[in-house]
Amino acid sequence: MAWHGILGHDDVVDQLRRAVMRGRLASSFLFAGPEGIGKRSFALKLAQALLCRARPEEALDPCGRCPACIQAAALSHPDLEMVSKPADKSFLPLELLIGDKEHRMRRGLCHAIGMKPLLGGRKVAIIDDADFLNAEGANSLLKTLEEPPPRSLLILVGTSPTRQLPTIRSRCQLIRFRPLAADLVATILVAQGLVADPAEAQRLARHGGGSVRRALELADPALWEFRNVLYERLQEPLLQSVRLAGAVAGFVEAAGKEAPRRRARLRQVVAFAADFYQQLVRRLAGSAPAEDDFGPWIDRAAAAWPKDVRAAAACAERCLDALEQIDRNANPATVIESWLDALAAITLPAAPARR
């Protein structure tokens, strides 16, 4: 089912609805989960449901037609505040949270949420891109989190609790959003006109990790061309890590000068490698690869693989570690070098025992 057009998160709706019905809705939440799965849209729909004047809060069922719903959808409701990281900034500017130097604590999100509601029974504030809170920005939220104004709700939208300072994590109720099922991702891609061909939507969704955004990023033909290069190298009995690191670095740099685009491309490459080793684990364990397009690569890799299934699993795990490092904004060059060196070490044939 879909909650007002939002697919895949009905369990979260039920959890929050029960909390509202018991009068136990927390004053601050951290919505955590992969990018591109609808967390921001969910937060906005929740705000609309809480501000709707036509239906009771506990229903979490906004009418979508009353003035409050229309204003919330347009982000013009006076009791709804939302801030996001500007595209040209590395962090959420402090001014968005507590005002500029001339208006400290008299403007910004923290000031707005502290005011009495004007139209509805609540004040709702949403911090999108909460992963990009620096220490100063996070500390500016502490008073609001420790002493929340009456009938206020603050929602931080991010990807992982580890991206937040402990002082933030400990003061927010964590809501984990799961990746979307591949069929749901494909449905969204076609329904929203993002991908015209249903078969292509299915292919992108299979490799999108449950994220609509990541599936869309995979529409770049250059990625699939490099995937062939990557798999050609990974199937070799002895991984040439230095050679492959140069190829990966060059491909990442070709994404452009913007750091976010380079980081996204590196993440896609590492995710391809993680898929490769996960399918290799299946093959070495006696199962067929889950996806048909893996077959030839995995068959050749399994025939030449110098290690057992545990080594393949260790390689897959190391790829997942690299993905986490990328998400934590680790230096891309360092990630590439350490990741491929680790894979080479795992796949290195054991030295013959001395007699």
- Residue-wise pLDDT tens digits, 74-97: 999 999 999 999 888 878 999 999
For residue 42, give both structure tokens. Answer: 């969910």
Write down the pLDDT at residue 332. Answer: 94
Return the residue matching tokens 């929203």. 192
The torsion defined by the Cα of 183, 185, 190 and 194, in degrees rounded to 10, comes to -160
* Measured CA distances, 317 to 29, 101, 300, 329 (Å): 30, 46, 21, 19
Write down the pLDDT at residue 38. Answer: 94
For residue 105, give both structure tokens. Answer: 């604590």
Nearest CA among 61, 79, 82 for reference residue 149: 79
DSSP 16-27: HHHHHHTT---S
pLDDT(236) > 70: yes
Rounded to whole angstroms, how far apart are CA atoms 318 and 313?
9
Please give the average per-residue pLDDT across 46-66, as a whole number: 95
Q: Can you name the residues that pair with 7 across neighbouring β-strands?
A: 2
* Residue 38 region by backbone torsions, left for phi larger than 0, else alpha for psi between -120 and 50, else beta: left
- List the 173-176 sheet strands across, edge first: 80-83, 123-127, 152-158, 28-32, 173-176
Domains of the chain, each with CATH number or no CATH: 2-176 (3.40.50.300), 180-208 (no CATH), 220-347 (no CATH)
pLDDT > 70 fraction of the chain, expressed in percent and rounded = 95
Chain centre distance of CA 179? 9
State the chain's mean pLDDT as an integer: 90
Full-model pTM: 0.82
Going by pLDDT thresholds of 50, 70 and 90, the confidence category of residue 287 is confident
